[in-house]
Every structure is written in C-alpha cells, then in structure tokens.
Chains A and B, each alone.
Chain A
Amino acid sequence: MRQKVRYVHRGEIVELENIDPTKTVLNYLRYEKALTGTKEGCAEGDCGACTVVLGELVNGKLKYQAVNACIQFLPTLDGKELITVEDLKEKDGALHPVQKALVDANGTQCGFCTPGFIMSLFAEMHSTPKTDRSHINDVLAGNLCRCTGYGTIVDAAVAVAQSSEKDRFHTEMTATSALLAALKKDSGLHLTWLDRHYFAPKTVDELIDVLARYPDAILLSGATDVGLWITKQHRELTTVIYLGQIQELKEIETQEGGLKLGASVTYSDAWAPLAELYPDFGELIRRIASTQIRNSGTIGGNIANGSPIGDTPPALIVLNARLHLRSKDGPRDIPIEDFFIDYGNQDLKPGEFVEAVTVPLPKVDAKFATYKISKRFDQDISAVCAAFHLTLKGDTVEDIRICYGGMAGIPKRAHLTEKAIIGQTWNETTISDTLPLMEEDYQPLSDMRASNQYRMLAAQNLLRKFYVETSTPEVPTRLLGEGGFACA
C-alpha cells in the first residue's frame, strides 16, 4: 500500500509522510504551515471558525464542501483538494466575491468567526446558492458568530446568491479536476508513525482484509465522533482504518426492499433521498448538526456509535430498517432495533463493520413522523427525539411503533405503550389512557440537556402531537419545517 498522503493545494499535489495520523487538519494548518487564517473556536465541530473547503471528484465532477478542520484528521485529505481562507484572494490581491460581499454588508465585527463564514459561503457559491432565508440558515447553521447577530452575514449570503460572478476556482476547475482524477488512481493508504497505523483501503475486500488483521482497530468514517476523542479526550488511537475512500460504502440504491444507504453515505447525501420517501425524515436530517458536520458525518457512524441520543436510530427503528453487517465471515443482516443491546453495547462483533442500512419504502396506509427537541433548533443534540409509525385500519390501530432517543441508555421502543394502543380506536381517549404507560416504558435521566420530568412529559406530549397531526391535520402544531410558523 501507499505510504504518502497526496492531496491538492493551490494547484499542486502536496505529499506528506511520517505524520501523526490523528493530527487534525486545523493544527496542521495553524502550527505547522503557519496558515493561521483558519481559527479554532471550539475544537469540536460546533462553531465553524475552523471551516475549510474540500474539493472532491464525484462522478467526474468537482464538488466543493465545507468541513470542520478541527476534527478532521490530516491523512483524510488524501485524494482531495484543500482550500483555506488564505487561498481565496485573486493573485493581484483583490478580494474574492464572497469576501467582498461580507465587507460590503458590514458583516464583520471582532472577525474571529469570519474566515469560517467566508469558507461556508465560498462552498455555497460553488454549489446551488439560493436567496431564500431558511436555506441560508441551513448553510450557516454551523458557523457561530457572537458579535453580529447574523443579519449582515445573511445579507452577504443573499448578495452572493444573487450575483452570477465567477471566480478563479471556476477557471481552474479543469486543471484541478485533472489533478484529482490522477489521485483517484492511487492505491490504498497505509501510514505508520511511531507504533501507530493508519489505513485507508479503497475497497470493501481490502477493508475486510485489514480489519481481519487488526480486529481492534478504530473504524473512522466522518470523524464527527472520533475526532472529538482526540481533541476533547486527548486519546491516543493505535490503529485507525478510514472508510471514506471506499466507493462501495457510499452507494445509494433504491431496491425492492427499500432505500439502501451505504454506511459511508453522509447526512448531506442521504438527505434528499430520505426526504423524498419521508418528508419528516428529511426535516430530521436538516436538524442534525450543521452543513459542515452533515458533509462529514455518516449514517453508518450515527448507527455504529450506539449513542442513545443519535437522531436517525429512532426513525430507522420505527420504519423497521435492516442493518447490513459484514466481516471476513461474510454478511449478516439484522433488524436495526436489535443492534442496540445496551448502553455502550452493540451487536457488532470484532472484525465486523456496518456495511449499509436499508430503509423500507413508505406503505400506503401508514403514517410516519419524527420530532427532535433540543434547546436550540439548529446544531444541537436532542434532549428527546421521537419517531412514530402508525398503521390504521379504518379507525382502529393495526400497528404502531414508537421509539425515542434520549429516554434510555439506547434508542428504545415504547413496547408497553405500543401494546396498549394496538387494537384500540385511534382517538383522544386511547392516547390519554395509554400515556401513563410511558412511565413504565422509560426512566429517563436528568442532565444538562433536560430533566427527567421534562423528558417524560415531552415524550408523552409528542405522542399526543402525533395523534393531533394524524387526526386533525389542519390544526397548526409545527414551529418549523414545511408550513412551520416560525419560518419566513
């Protein structure tokens, strides 16, 4: 396997060897390259001050995406183009259109958040810029500014979207694509540093092989969890296997059984296909983290980390998704619900990995909803996340599946409540009568996100809300999302 990281920067291929494989891109830029335009505001992916843009060839087209340099490991740059705030100005020193727009809008105060906003806006300029406010909110959800109150920055985003100006990166696109295409041909990567190993296999077979040799290795996908083990817990990882170079794990297919998402499909890429099947699932993805995190974080990682507060598992569980696991012993399929055994304990054997998840297609008579409750709407972790799947026959409940995140040590179904509702008439009395059972289904904890009383009450009220929405859809119940009241 190859022993040098190769990435594109400023129109050239940069090669790195002998590097600490868990050094973050941010620390590399700031403390080794003296490229200090990119800032650290939190080192955990939440503030966006460290935003850089990565260019990748996707189906032969150059695609620019913003990511958080603070939690991305340096060798994951392999095969990509890196763009930082220092790279944007024209050669003659003129400001880039995005930079100019922010200056003109008076969008800087202390300026510490500014480079991050610039890079988010730059990536946006190179995708599908829109002037509508809620779209801009989504684009900027991962960039915190403590000074401006955002209005001026939104003005700049609108100005960028309205302009048809092109930049140097458009002009140089062909050349960059050629460099990236050349890198695509590189073999898998194996770095060694001190006693540590970093592998980036290119195929599932290679992965199976490496994993069989290093069954204790840490699998790395989007690093939106693993990155924090380094920056927050200061852990040392001996062997890391990066899954992001395996094309097979990034496939999205609609099959007979449903929508199959490879484990390395990012939130960003899963968003549209999921939204198309289940609009509420789309809204849930929109509420997960930020653009930068959605560009890195994967569906597989969100499941595999086994977190009780991961947002996709409750929805996947009520939809009865199937999880595809794999190891050198071959594939293994399980209902996703069975994957979550206990807090910190998943049905994943040593040497096994999550390969994909299949989400069943919507059934005609069924109703699905999912709700996320957090202190802040965007870029926050759920205090409670609820998902419901209801099948009615006339007025009678033929089947209902209820699952919550944040209510137990794992994403967990409300079996007693479900049982009491099935076979009953779908009406107010049934709901009121069964709500107390929820207290037997769950004993939630109190922590900084919410008290146990609140979690319980909110969980019960969300079931009530689901009832209201399914029985009297004309009654307003949503602050956000489609038809939401708080949207402009």
Chain B
Amino acid sequence: MRNPPLSRNVIRGTVHAPRHHDSAAKQVAGEALYIDDIAEPKDLLNLYIAQSEKAHAKILKLDVSAVRRAPGVVVVLTADDVPGINDASPIAGDDPVFAEEIVEYAGQSLFAVAAETLDQARAAAKLAIIEYEELPAIVTVEQAMAANSFVLPTREIRRGDASASIKAAKHRLTQRFEIGGQDHFYLEGHVALALPGEDGDIFIYSSTQHPTEVQHNVAKFLNLSDHAVTVEVRRVGGGFGGKETQGAWFAAIAGLTTKLTGRPAKIRLDRDDDMIMTGKRHDFVVTVEMGFDDNGRVSGAEFIFASRCGRSADLSASINDRAMFHADNCYYFENVTIISHRCKTHTVSNTAFRGFGGPQGMLAPERMMDAIACYLGKDPIDVRKANLYGKKSRNVTPYQMTVEDNIAPEIIAELEKSSDYAARREAIRAFNKASPYLKKGISLTPVKFGISFTATHLNQAGALLHVYTDGSVMINHGGIEMGQGLYIKVAQVVAEVLQIDIERVKITATRTDKVPNTSATAASSGADINGKAAEAAAIAIKERLAKFAAEYYGVKLSEITFLPNRIRIGKHVVSFRDLVQLAYMSRISLSSTGFYSTPKIHYDAETLSGRPFYYFAYGAAVSEVIIDTLTGENKVVAVDILHDAGKSLNPAIDLGQIEGGYIQGMGWLTTEELYYDDKGILKTHAPSTYKIPACSDRPAIFNMKIFEQGENVEETIFRSKAVGEPPLMLAISAFNAIADAISSVTDYRFYPELNAPATPERVLMAVQNISETAKTHKLTEAAQ
C-alpha cells in the first residue's frame, strides 16, 4: 500500500501506541540492506587484516614484501602508510590502527592487505615474515592488580566513614566474586565500505553506532578535514555497544585503501576475527563488605571493583564510573566507599556493552542483599525493602544526586504480588526438601538505572526535517537504528507533532552531512535525545505553518488547530498537503533543523559527584530456576517482569527491548563464557564455543508487563523513559535464583560463592564447595 487513505479521527502512528518496526516487512523478505548487501561497485578491493599472534611482544621484524608480490594484491598497508594520525580511539589517542613496534593483545592489527578477492588477501597475509620478542603478558585482573598495571587512575567515592560503621555494626559480611565479560555477538559483524569521491573525498558506509566518531577518526587518520569524509548508516545488524567505538579503525583502513588506490574498498570481519579483534564487556573482580543490623539494614558498605580494561582506555573511564554509580542500585547506604581500579591487561580493549558498567556495579549490592538475608535467615525481599531509598529522606546517592523519582517500592510491591512470590518461594522450599538432586531457586531483584551519558557534553542531538510540496515529510537525525526501533519511535514523534499519518513520514539513513556532530547512539539515550531534536524540528515547522496560515487567512493563531492530516484555520479546514502547497507558493521555508540538549544535568568528573543523570528508569524481575546438583546444569524456568518505560512511546517496541534485554543479561550471567588461555589467547571466538542464549533457553513461562502508572517526572519526549539498557539487569534475578538453589543444599544455612557466568561447571563446583563448608561447620559444631 503506497498511499493508504488518510485517517480522519486519529492519525496512524501516534505516540503511546504499539507499532511494528519500520523495517519489519523488508527484514522478513531479505530486502532490508545491510552494508555487505549493497551492490558491490565494480573495481571493489577486499581487505584482510593480519593480526598479532602474541598478547604482548616487541615486533622485531615485519617484512611484507612477499605479501605485496602475492597474486591479486593491490596494496599492503602498514603503520608507515598512514598519512595522518595512526589512531582510532574515542578519546585517549592510544588505539593505533596498525601496531608500531609493540603489540599488546593477540588479535591486534599489524597490517592490512587489499586484493581483488578476499581469499587472495587472506592468503597473501600469511606470507609476511614477522618476528616477535615475547614479553610477559598480563592476562587477568589479579595479575594486573599484582603488577599495578592500570590504564587509568583508580577512582573513589566516599560518603561518611564506611569502614568505621562496618566495624561498629552488629553484623558484617564480605563477599568476593568474579563477573565474566561478554561478547556482543551482534549477528552482523563489523563492516565498512569506502567509496572514492571528487577532490579526494571519501564516502563511507560503516556499521557503527557512532558515525560522527568514525568520520572524525577517518579524517584524522587520512589527514583530511572532517568535511571531506561522509559517513552513512541506514541500519546495523545489532550493536549493543560493540559498534560504539570499535568500527572506526575498520572504516579508517577501508578509507585509506580508497585514498591510496582510488578504488572502492570493503572490509568485513568474519565471526572469528570480529570476536578476536574487537572489545567486549569488562570482566570485574568485586569485593564487597557490609555492616548491618538485625533487620538487614546496611549502615556501612565498602565496594572494591577491579575491571579488565584491556590494552587501552577506550571508554573504560565512563564505564567504570557508571559501575560505581550503580553500586547502590535501589538502596541507600549511609556510609559508603566505592573504589574502582581500571586494570590494564594484554587483552583486547574492552568497550561499551548494554548497561555500560552498570550491570557489573549492580550485581554487587544484589548479591549482598541475598547473602545478608541468608545470614539472618530472612526472606531477601525483606532485606531489600529495609534498604530501599526513601522518598523524602535517605534519598541521596553516594555521588550526591537526590533520587526524586523513586518508584522502586511500588514496582517491587506490585511484582511481589502479581508473581505470587511468597507462595512460590514456599513451594520451592517444599520441593527442595523432597528432591535430593534437582533443586529450585527463586529471586526478586529490582533495577534503578541512571539515564544520560555521564560525559555531560554528549547529551545533545540534532535533527533535520523537510516537508516536500506534496505534504510528505523526510526526517533525519543523528541516531542509529540497530534494531531497537529508534527510527519508528522518532517517526511517531514527528507524525504526532504534525498530525499526519506515519506513512507520510520518511525516515532516512543517518548521515554525517545531514546532521553533524552527533553523539553515539548509546546510553539508552537514542529516542530521548533524537526524539526531542526531531520534535523540535517538527514544532518549528508546525509553528511556521500556523503563523503563515493565520496571516494568510487573517485569523488569530489561537484559531488554528492541527487535526489528523488537516488543519482547522478559523472556519476553514485545509488538508496538510494543501497548506504546505500554499506555504510553498508564498515562499515559506519548509525545512527545519531541530536541536536538543538534556537539561538539569551537571557532574564533576573529578569528585564524581553531581547530577549525572536526568532521571532513573526502574524495573524488577522474579526469576525461578532449577539446577541439577549432580552436573551443575541449570535452567531458568519462569520469569515475571514489571518494567518502567515511563509513558511508553511504543509498547510493542519496548516489550521487545525488555524481553531481549533480559535474555541477553541471562546469557551474560549463565552460558556466555569468554575463555582466555594463560598466554592471553581467546579460545571462544565463534558460536561453536561461545554460547549466547538459544530459543529453548528462554524461560518457558515469561510474563512481562510495562508498569502502567509509569510516567517520567521529567519532561522527556512525551514523558517516556529510555528502555534500551535497563532490562538487561533484570537478569540479575536469574543469577541470584541459581545461588538460592545452591544454598538449598545446606538447607539455606550458607550462601554460595559463585562467579558469573553460572556455567554447569561453576554451579557444580559451588555445590561441592558449599556442601564441604556445611560439613566442616557441622563437624566444628559437633566438636564444641
């Protein structure tokens, strides 16, 4: 249906209504184009990147002469061929595109080969003569801590005297645990296609969440002005943070090839290369100590985080800051110390991943709540309630932001009821008494996630809106569509503001020459900031049309109303299209930009205090699991979710984010294990060995609901809330439920040590260890 009849009562595509993803019909037919699907230009060169085989080594010799002579090879690129700055980092200038003198992770790019075919390029790369002098490699967080190896200085947040109050508390508990990293495993790997333009300009298709950064990095690398490089992204096949900074060097290499040869050049990483060469979620080692009273209320808390940042800084500063900002989750810790070490290791530089440090930070208090409950013999939900932020008092975070929109208590209460938590917990305990080998567990955990980029300046967005003379509209903005439904949400905003059917709104590919200086589509901010920018552009047009109509028809502005697809102007009713025609004939501009910068936020990066977040998004989940104590195999069998999307812009899209986020978080905490050998070589670099959730891993019972009373207290886009990242952390309930099931083998007298992900191996070992502990304890008790 090209031109469905215009609606009269309500436009199609309002906000707050479910609507399919804008590309759905194309996606199911294989017609949605990803970069590797674009018809290949003639003369295309294919690129292959040769990688370091050592985690840490001096390069004594890199001789590519045989590579140059190999069949089909057109050009070989090394650090010496870079006309500009050999760096593709987001901030620190420490990510060489091609290694010079030293390699710092296995998989680091050494040189690139451009050949007529990919097979030729790959085969030629093998002909290089490379000599290394191996240096000691730091692989783990422990090794880095022992060697004082850091990419960035250690940071601290302190309020009160945590250690004194822990000492003074009636009870104390300490937990130490490791949290594994996570590969993004977007289904579409990194890819860039560079095309030559006039004047030496370069046009790049890049599968990136941050076209502006790609543009800037390519320009810097090629020694060109930013204006000479244009980057376009229509969609990416999944990003999850993995395409926030990581795409730049591939684009740079493709761009350089084009610059040197004048030919189009494509680089597409296969799965193994993608997983070996690009960054992942940071793994953490966490130590937490808390002092608390008989009710489990915490008076003092001390967190020590140490994360594996890999070889360079990348976004590790903000990621670790965000981990610190989420060590409180929904809880008020009166006296608190949060320390964050950012370890340098000889592994791939870790990067943004949905939640951006928040999930790792949040796991710490959530595990503690359960450990405390176990220690006191209480229901963990009661310990959580005893520690929740208050509404009027006990409502200031460790980083000095007042929590003004706390709805955690309401969400927890509603979910506790709707999930029948208490009765199920009892039933599970009864089941466990009767079942010697299979054990069930349950847990309810809440989420409070801060929304905004912690780097304040990034909280800005631009949009460009054209109205054509037939009344159809083009909207463009700086956000990237990576499946999250950003484009359709923004189109809904435009349709709503202009009161036109959504088919009249064309969403076009994001391009640096349409909207400049954009921020990454990240921090869940996509719809928040780009929606607002698009709204601003649409309002500008609407106001311009209204003013024009008032003058043209000689009526007051107040007599003008935008009805569905038409405008009432005093006594006249004119279709949107006709009004646009009139405006055009009267030489009124029908194009506008829109701009938005998030208000209220401010934050001192030195003291780590202020208001880094415009608002918080909330949610809670109850997960039920079953484990096999003979093998450690485990399965999430049921989940109940209540999530806050404010006044949801598009509930169909938001439910997709909630479910997808939970399952992705569940994968992070259960089956997805990154395994490096002691030489720092990643052994899990393909789906054969790296296991993201499959269809049957989705809990058979999956109840989810958007919190109905949800409404952003802040003036966000139609009072909605960001929903990209927060649901991932709902899966902490699955991890805690596994711990609960393990605890049952000691009749809940002990809380297990359990590292994430809870693979069968980790669960079985935890069962072994906790059984030992219980046995030893019994023996000591008996002896006394």
- Docked complex: B530-589 residues within 8 A CB-CB of A: none
- B726 shortest CB reach to chain A, Å: 15
* B9 interface hit (Cβ, 8 Å): no
* B85 interface hit (Cβ, 8 Å): no
Q: Using a Cβ cutoff of 8 Å, how many contacts connect chains A and B?
A: 274
How many angstroms from the CA of A39 to the CA of B33 in the assembled complex? 11
* A145 interface hit (Cβ, 8 Å): yes
How many angstroms from the CA of A244 to the CA of B23 in the assembled complex? 39
* A72 interface hit (Cβ, 8 Å): no
With beta carbons under 8 angstroms apart, the residue of A137, A151, A468 that contacts B659 is A151
CB–CB B28/A114 < 8 A: yes
The winner among A38, A88, A146, A468 for most chain B CB atoms within 10 A is A146
**Nearest-neighbor residue (CB-CB) of A151 within chain B:** B659
Interface string of A127-150 (1 = CB under 8 A from B): 000000110111011011111111
With beta carbons under 8 angstroms apart, the residue of A43, A46, A154, A449 that contacts B698 is A154
CB–CB B483/A44 < 8 A: no
CB–CB B630/A461 < 8 A: yes
Which of A298-306, A369-377, A397-405 binds B? A369-377
* B236 interface hit (Cβ, 8 Å): yes
- B209 shortest CB reach to chain A, Å: 12
The winner among B26, B633, B661, B663 for most chain A CB atoms within 10 A is B633
- Docked complex: A467-488 residues within 8 A CB-CB of B: 468, 475-480, 485-488
CB–CB A376/B271 < 8 A: no
- Docked complex: A449-464 residues within 8 A CB-CB of B: 449-451, 453-454, 457-458, 461-462, 464
- Docked complex: A37-54 residues within 8 A CB-CB of B: 37-44, 46-47, 49
Chain A interface category by residue count: 35 or more
CB–CB A462/B631 < 8 A: yes
Contact (A485, B673) CB under 8 Å given A86-B30, A113-B187, A148-B660: no
CB–CB A381/B688 < 8 A: yes
**Nearest-neighbor residue (CB-CB) of A138 within chain B:** B696
- Docked complex: B28-66 residues within 8 A CB-CB of A: 28-34, 36-37, 39-40
How many angstroms from the CA of A448 to the CA of B122 in the assembled complex? 27
Interface string of B638-672 (1 = CB under 8 A from A): 00000000000000110110011111100000010
CB–CB A477/B630 < 8 A: yes
Interface string of A105-136 (1 = CB under 8 A from B): 01011111111001000000000000001101
How many angstroms from the CA of A93 to the CA of B704 in the assembled complex? 35
* B628 interface hit (Cβ, 8 Å): yes
**Nearest-neighbor residue (CB-CB) of B691 within chain A:** A376
* Residues of chain A lying within 8 A (CB to CB) of residue B402: none
* A102 interface hit (Cβ, 8 Å): yes
With beta carbons under 8 angstroms apart, the residue of B29, B184, B189, B700 that contacts A487 is B700
Which of B91-99, B756-764, B774-782 binds A? B756-764
Contact (A151, B702) CB under 8 Å given A141-B696, A449-B689: yes
With beta carbons under 8 angstroms apart, the residue of A88, A110, A378 that contacts B237 is A110
* Residues of chain B lying within 8 A (CB to CB) of residue A152: 656, 659
* Residues of chain A lying within 8 A (CB to CB) of residue B385: none
* B240 interface hit (Cβ, 8 Å): yes
How many angstroms from the CA of A332 to the CA of B156 in the assembled complex? 73
* Residues of chain B lying within 8 A (CB to CB) of residue A103: 20, 24-25, 28
* B436 interface hit (Cβ, 8 Å): yes
The winner among B18, B34, B272, B691 for most chain A CB atoms within 10 A is B691
**Nearest-neighbor residue (CB-CB) of B21 within chain A:** A108
* B186 interface hit (Cβ, 8 Å): yes
How many angstroms from the CA of A31 to the CA of B50 in the assembled complex? 23
CB–CB A42/B29 < 8 A: no
* Residues of chain A lying within 8 A (CB to CB) of residue B661: 149
* Residues of chain B lying within 8 A (CB to CB) of residue A269: none
How many angstroms from the CA of A232 to the CA of B671 in the assembled complex? 23
* B484 interface hit (Cβ, 8 Å): yes
How many angstroms from the CA of A311 to the CA of B677 in the assembled complex? 26
* A99 interface hit (Cβ, 8 Å): yes
CB–CB A47/B695 < 8 A: no
With beta carbons under 8 angstroms apart, the residue of B36, B238, B694 that contacts A376 is B694
CB–CB A450/B698 < 8 A: no
* Residues of chain B lying within 8 A (CB to CB) of residue A89: 29
How many angstroms from the CA of A441 to the CA of B26 in the assembled complex? 57
**Nearest-neighbor residue (CB-CB) of B672 within chain A:** A375
- B73 shortest CB reach to chain A, Å: 16
**Nearest-neighbor residue (CB-CB) of B660 within chain A:** A149
CB–CB B187/A477 < 8 A: no
CB–CB B28/A99 < 8 A: yes
- A95 shortest CB reach to chain B, Å: 7
How many angstroms from the CA of A371 to the CA of B437 in the assembled complex? 15
CB–CB B695/A140 < 8 A: yes
How many angstroms from the CA of A306 to the CA of B688 in the assembled complex? 18
With beta carbons under 8 angstroms apart, the residue of B36, B122, B187 that contacts A145 is B187
CB–CB A376/B697 < 8 A: yes
How many angstroms from the CA of A451 to the CA of B761 in the assembled complex? 8
* Residues of chain A lying within 8 A (CB to CB) of residue B238: 109-110, 112, 146-147
Q: Which 9 A-B pairs have the closest CB atoms?
A: A37-B30, A110-B483, A112-B237, A488-B700, A111-B27, A109-B483, A149-B663, A46-B687, A137-B696
11 of the cross-chain contacts (CB-CB < 8 Å) are: A44-B687, A85-B28, A145-B695, A146-B187, A152-B656, A234-B122, A377-B633, A448-B673, A450-B760, A462-B631, A475-B435
Chain B positions within 8 Å of A, measured between CB atoms, are 18, 20-21, 23-34, 36-37, 39-40, 119, 122-123, 184-189, 235-240, 270-272, 435-438, 482-485, 626, 628, 630-635, 637, 652-653, 655-656, 659-664, 671, 673, 675, 683-684, 686-689, 691-698, 700-702, 759-761, 764-765, 768
